[in-house]
Structure 1
Amino acid sequence: MKKMPYEIKQKLRQYNKANLKAKTLHAELVEIFEEYSVPYENLTANQVFGKYEEELVTEALAFINNCEGDVEDNITDIEEVFLYFSNKDN
């Protein structure tokens, strides 16, 4: 074999295109969460423990990033943390 099959090259191009779209969507989501004062770290379970130990946290956004779990369950978990932070000062 002198070349990799064209089908594989096309799949790699499709995969790259999907990843670029995912990267754009991810950046948009991070920006939206910031607008609502919802820490990204608390949606990916990467928050620094210490003074924030009492705050709600989930790994649900990380699960979505990695295509893990049920998306609706992940959205429900994200919503719980989102509402905690968006209503925190009320």
Structure 2
Amino acid sequence: MNLLEDLNEILQTELNKLGYQQIQKKDTHNLLVALFNVQDKTVSVKRRRVYISRELNAKEIEEPYNNYLKLVRNKFKNGKDVNPHLSGGSTKLY
């Protein structure tokens, strides 16, 4: 039994579950940093109450932006995955 090898395997498995197949830096420190970064940058999938500010509600938002706003709001309300709507930087491991 090798604790570091076991930990590295667990970390790689968790990153694989999150969709990261090719992990370049496979030492324990970098795997931990990568997993924590991914966990910090992703939005957990669960139902949420959505509040629209008075300022945003008062604005007339033109199409297609109004539809995008409704789509994301409904995903939050219904507990759907909103992570595909995050910026590209949120998917970087390091």
TM bracket, shorter-chain basis: 0.3 to 0.5
Q: TM-score, normalised by structure 1?
A: 0.32
Q: Whose RCO is larger (CA < 8 A, sep 6+)? A: 2
Q: TM-score, normalised by structure 2?
A: 0.31
